[in-house]
Amino acid sequence: MPIPLSLLKVHCRVDFTDDDAILALYLSSAVSFFEGATRRLLSQQTRHVRRGDFAPTALPFPPFVSVTSVTYVDSDGNTQTLPAANWVVESTQPIAVVQFVGDLPDLHEDTYDRVTIQYVAGWENPPADVVASVLQLAAASYLMREAVASPGAPRVGIDFGVQSVIARWAVPEFEGRLDP
């Protein structure tokens, strides 16, 4: 978890352990919501992008850290590792792009996902405004967990400050097939 439960407990002024499980659930939910809304990873994770060719490939979920490997299915149907000399990463913000260069091998014709890029992305330490926003989201869920809106009553939305941080850090949507 990129944000420790102990920090959320301080934020909510909780000094007992009875609610640790529910607080951890709300914290995990807030992290997931923030990552989905911004398309950024709050902690470093290994991800994969699969595609059918050696076209330039965007690596979603910044910040980009490194490419671990590029594999492909050769013309005989065997998985091979593409040498690092055959690809370069252009890490322009916010999305890094893998460009394939040099003499590239033939790919297997009957396989859809013939090229797999494994990479690491995410913050080692999320920025303070991101941490504060995730804490606000988790705390709101914890403090209002029993609130029920009656029909026609206004619903409570996301705090304006949290919305502003999400808008600041959001990156463009990615088009393509992603695997966690």
pLDDT at 135: 95
Query: Residue 56 is encoded by which pair of tokens?
Result: 């330039």
**pLDDT reading at 10 higher than 60:** yes
pLDDT at 177 over 60: no
* More confidently predicted of 31 and 168: 31
Whether residue 40 contacts residue 127, with contact meaning beta carbons closer than 8 Å, is answered with no
CA-CA distance, 180 to 60, in Å (whole number)? 11
Q: Are 87 and 13 in contact (CB under 8 A)?
A: no
Report which of residues 112 and 25 the model is more confident about. Answer: 25
Query: What are phi and psi for residue 70, nearest 5 degrees?
Result: -125, 120
Each residue's pLDDT tens digit, 60-98:
888 999 999 999 999 999 999 999 999 999 987 678 999
If you ran DSSP here, which 8-state letter would residue 92 be given? -
Token pair, residue 109, equals 């014709």
* CA nearest neighbour of 108 among 80, 71, 74, 78: 74
Question: Is residue 166 over pLDDT 80?
Answer: yes
Who contacts 137 (Cβ-Cβ below 8 Å, separation ≥6)? 29, 30, 33, 34, 158, 162
Confidence of residue 156 (pLDDT cuts 50, 70, 90): low
CA torsion, ordered 134, 125, 94, 162, to nearest 10 deg: 20
What proportion of the chain, given as a percentage, has pLDDT over 90? 67
> Tell me, what's the pLDDT at 143?
86
CB-based contacts of 136, cutoff 8 Å, min separation 6: 159, 161, 162
Q: What is the pTM of this model?
A: 0.79
